[in-house]
Chain A
Amino acid sequence: MSARHDAGQGSSGLTRRAVLQGVAAVGGLVLCLHESGRIAHAGVAPPKYGVDAEPGGAVENPLIFVAIHPDDSVTITVARPEMGQGIRTSLALVVADELDAEWERVRVVQAPGDQARYGNQDTDGSRSMRHFFQPMRRVGAAARMMLESAAAAHWGVPVSEVQAERQRVSRRGGEPSLTYGELAEAAIRESVPAPDRVKLKHPGQFRYIGKLSTRAIDGADIVSGRARYGIDTRLDGMLYAVVARPAVLGGKLVHYDARAALAVPGVVRVVEIASHPQPPRSYPLGGVAVLAHNTWAAIKGREALTIQWHDGPNAKFDSQQFQAVLEQAVRHPATVVRDDGDALTALRGAGTRLEAEYYLPFLAHASMEPPAATARIVDGHCEVWAPVQDPQGVRDLITGLLGMKESDVTVNVTLLGGAFGRKSLGDFAGEAAVLSKAMGGTPVKVMWTREDDIRHDYYQAVAMERLEARLGADGLPVAWLHRSASPTEDATFVAGAEGEDDGEYGMGMINVPFQIPNIRLEIPKVPAYTRIGWFRSVYNIAHGFAIQSFIDELAHAAGRDPRDYLLALLGPSRRVDPRTLSDQWNYGESPMRYPLDTGRWRAVIERATREAGWGRTLPKGRGLGLAATYSFMSYAAAVVEAEVDSAGRITVPRVDIAFDCGPQVNPDRVRAQLEGACIMGLTLAKYGSITFKGGRVQQSNFDDYALLRLPEAPREIHVHVLESSFDVPLGGVGEPGLPPIAPALANAIFAATGRRIRRLPLGEKLA
C-alpha cells in the first residue's frame, strides 16, 4: 500500500459556501443542490445528501489513506485539517480500528489540498466525523481484507481460514502468523474490495472507536514545542512579510511612500498587493507589504510606511447607527419564510402578549494563532504551507490569483492554532502566494499581527432578533412571530446580497418544532458593510440566544417553571420531518436519516437539569438558567449557575451540559469540545463585541477585544454525554455545544437578579 502525494486532477470547485449561498445567490449547480428534492420528484435525479452532496464526496480507496511499512509501522493519511477538534487522532483511530492496527505504531500524515484524490476536505459545519466515519471505517476494513487475502494466498488456503488481529494475520490451526509489515507488499497487489463487500466490525469489537483512552496523535509534539503551526514554517532564504491593508473594506491605495520603511535595517523590499473589485470573496484585501529578513523588521517597516488610502463606499459604516437600522428592520413586515396558521391574527387576541428584541454584535474569531502562511514558487510550481480549513478552496484561490494550472499549486496543511471558521477563507495564503510571485519565487511568510487579525476578520454577523408571542389560557403560546435581521455571509461572495439565506435561517430559527398553532417567521433584508464569515455555530448563536431567552421570558410571564415550560413547548417525543417545518436545508443531510427528534431534545434537557439539581434552593444573588438547542444534527442543553454580587459582578461557578451527538467516536474529544464551547459561549456573552466607526473596526488586540481568562472559567464544568448505539447516525460535535451557553447564562442572571439580558455583551458586570 502506498501514500503517494501528487497533485490531483481538477475538482468541481463548488464549496459549502456556494451551497450556503442558496437560492438568492448564484445559479446552476447550486440551485440543483438546493432543489434536488424537487428535481427528484420530477424524476430527474435522486437527491444527494451528506458527503455525497459535497464537492469531492468521499474517497474510500485504502491505497490512498493507508501505508504499511516493512518495519510494521502504519501511516494513515488524514485529509481533514486539524484545528483543535482532534480530527487527526479521531479519523486515524477509525481507520486503525477497522484495520486492527496497533495504535502505538500509527503515524499520521496530513494530506495536502486535493479533493479529487482525497474527497472533500472543507472542514467546517461539524461534518468531518458525520461524513467520514463510515467511509474511513471501510478504508480500514478494506485494507485489512487485502492483508488477509494476501496471507491466504501465501498459505494457499481460502480467505475464510485466516484472520487478522492486532497487526498479524493468523491461520486457523496454528501456523505461525504473518505480520502486516511482512504482508504489505503482497497486499498491495490484491484487488481493493468494493465498498459493499467490505466487512465491518460489530461495534462490540471496537478497540479504539468509542473508547476513552486513545493517545492524541499530536499531544507529545504539542507539549514539547515541536508541533508545527502555520506561523512556524521556515524555509531557506525565506522573507517575512507584514502587510498594511485598507482599514475600510473596499478601500484603495492612492499613494504610498516607502523610503522610511526601506531604511529600517532588515527590510528588503516594499511591494504593493493589488486589491480586487467587491465582493471581497477570499481574495487578499490589497495594500502594501513590507518584506524583511525577520518579522520584527517587517513590523517596524510597516510602521514607517506613509500611505494614503481612498476609503470607498463603506467609509460611513457605523455599527451603532446600524443598530437602529436593524431595529427598524425587525419592526416591519419582511419576507415570510414559514407561516403556520395565522400568527398575525392570533397575536391580536386577548391575554398576555410579550415582545422582545435581542441584539448580538459582530464577533471576531481571534484564534490564538493569527493568520499566517508561507509560499514559494520553484520551476513554475507554487507550494504553500498554511493553516487552512479548506485547502482545496485555497488551492483554487491561488490557482486563480497566479494564473497557474491547478496541478502547479500545492497547498500543504499545517496544524491550525485555532480557527473557528476564520481559516475557512484563505486570503492570507493568497497574500503569501502573490508576494512570492512578486519576489521571483522567493519563499515568503506572511505574518498577521493580532491587530491585523481583529481588524480584517470575516466577522460573525451582527444580529437583531425580534420575537412576539401571545399566551393562551394554559400559559403556552398560541402565536409566535420571529424576525431575524442579520447580514448574510453570501454578501462576501455576491455583491448586494441581503438578509439571511435558507442555510442561515435554517440554523435554529426555521425549524422550531414547538407546539404552537400559529408560527410566522420573517427575514428582513439588511446589507453587509464588512466581510461576513462563519464563526463556530454561526447563525445558531443569535437564534439560540433569542429563542431560548424568549422562552424563559414566556415561562416567567406564565408563572411556570422554565424547564417544564420548555418541555411543554417541545411536546411529546416524536420525529419531525424538517420539511414539515419549512426547513428544506437540514444542514445538507437527508430529512429521513436525520429527522428532528424531540425525544432526544427532551432527554438532554432532562439530563442537564437533573445533574445540575434544577429547582434547588440557592443563596441570594445566585440563579440557575437553562437553554437547549439543536444544531448540526446534535442536541445540547446547558444549565448555568450564575452569581451576581452587590456590585453587579458576574461569576459562573458551575455549568452542566448534556449532549446527544449520537454515537461518540472519540469520547474524550467530544467532552473537550463541549468544555471549549462553554468557555467560548461565556466569552461571547461577557465580552464579544466588534464595533465599526467610519467603516473601521475599533478593536485591535486582547486589551479591547477581551477573551475569558482562566480565573473566570467555571470551577466546575460537568459534561454529560448521552449514550447512543452505533445504529444512530452521527451528529456534529465541534459547534453544537456553543449556542445554549449564552442564553443559559442570561436566564441564570434573570433567576439571580430579576434582570433580563437582551443585549450582548454583558461586560465585566451588570451596568
Chain B
Amino acid sequence: MPLTLRINGRFVAVEAHADTPLLWVLRDELGLTGAKFGCGMGLCGACVVHVDGQPVRACVTPVSAVQSRPITTVENISADRVGRAVQDAWLAVGVPQCGYCQAGQIMSAVALLRQTPQPSDDQIDDAMTGNICRCGTYPRIRAAIHRAAQHLRETP
C-alpha cells in the first residue's frame, strides 16, 4: 500500500505492505542503512530509531503504525544538540569497535539524555539494557554518556 512517512524532517512516499517492519522500509526502500538488523525480535536494539522522540525498535514496528509520525534515524541525529553531544562524546571516548551496534546505542543514549539530562549509573543501566554490543564497548558507552551529559550541562 502507498504510505507517507515523515523521516528526518521530510515527507517521503513509499510503497510497502502494512505489516512490513519499519526497519526494512528504511533500509531496503529508502536506503537509510544506519539502523541495523541484529535480531528481528526486539531483543538487541541495533535497529533503534526515534518515533515522536521516543526510542523504538524498528524491527518490530509495523510501518503502518508510524505513518505521519515524526521519525528520526541516526543519519539525522546531528541535527539535534543532544545528538551532537552524544556523537562527540562517542568519538572522544573511542566507544566504537566494529561500530555495528553503535547507531542503536546512540539513539538510545540520546533518548535517555533528553529525558534525564544527568543520568546516574543505574539510570544508564535501565536505559541501555536493550542494546547489545558483542564487541563489549559497555564501559565506554557508560563513560561517553556521562561525558555527553557533562558537556550539555556546561554548555547551555
Contacts and interface: CB of A to CB of B under 8 A. Distances in A.
Interface in A202-242: 215-216, 218-220, 222-229, 231-232, 234, 240
Contact of A223 (B102, B121, B137): B102
A366 B134 contact: yes
B55 interface: no
Contact of A710 (B35, B75, B128): B128
Interface residues of A, number: 65
Contacts of B128: 709-711
A676 B142 contact: no
Nearest to A717: B139
A369 B100 CA distance: 7
A542 interface: no
Residue from B73, B75, B96 having most chain A Cβ neighbours under 10 A = B96
Interface in B84-122: 87, 90-91, 94, 96-103, 106, 121
A638 B130 CA distance: 28
Interface in B13-48: 17, 20-21, 24, 27-29, 31-41, 43-44, 46
A223 B106 contact: yes
Interface in A700-743: 701-703, 707-711, 713-715, 717
Contact of B136 (A232, A369, A370, A676): A676
Given A216-B94, A222-B102, A701-B43, A368 B132 contact: yes
A709 B43 CA distance: 11
B17 A265 contact: yes
Given A672-B140, A679-B136, A711-B129, A223 B33 contact: no
Contact of A676 (B38, B73, B137): B137
A296 B34 contact: no
A296 B62 CA distance: 11
A421 B128 CA distance: 27
B97 A709 contact: no
Contacts of B82: none
A368 B98 contact: yes
A450 interface: yes
Contacts of A668: 94
Contacts of B46: 368
A677 B40 contact: no
A675 interface: yes
Nearest to B97: A84
A216 B91 CA distance: 8
A296 B21 contact: yes
B98 A367 contact: yes
Contacts of B33: 225, 228, 231-232, 234
Contacts of A368: 36, 38, 44, 46, 98, 100-101, 132-135
13 contacts: A224-B75, A266-B17, A296-B21, A367-B98, A367-B100, A368-B100, A369-B98, A672-B94, A675-B140, A701-B41, A702-B38, A703-B43, A709-B132
Given A225-B77, A368-B101, 10 more contacts: A219-B90, A222-B96, A228-B33, A370-B38, A418-B134, A450-B44, A679-B136, A702-B39, A710-B125, A710-B141
Interface of A: 82-86, 215-216, 218-220, 222-229, 231-232, 234, 240, 265-266, 293-296, 299, 366-370, 415-420, 447, 449-450, 668, 672-673, 675-680, 683, 701-703, 707-711, 713-715, 717
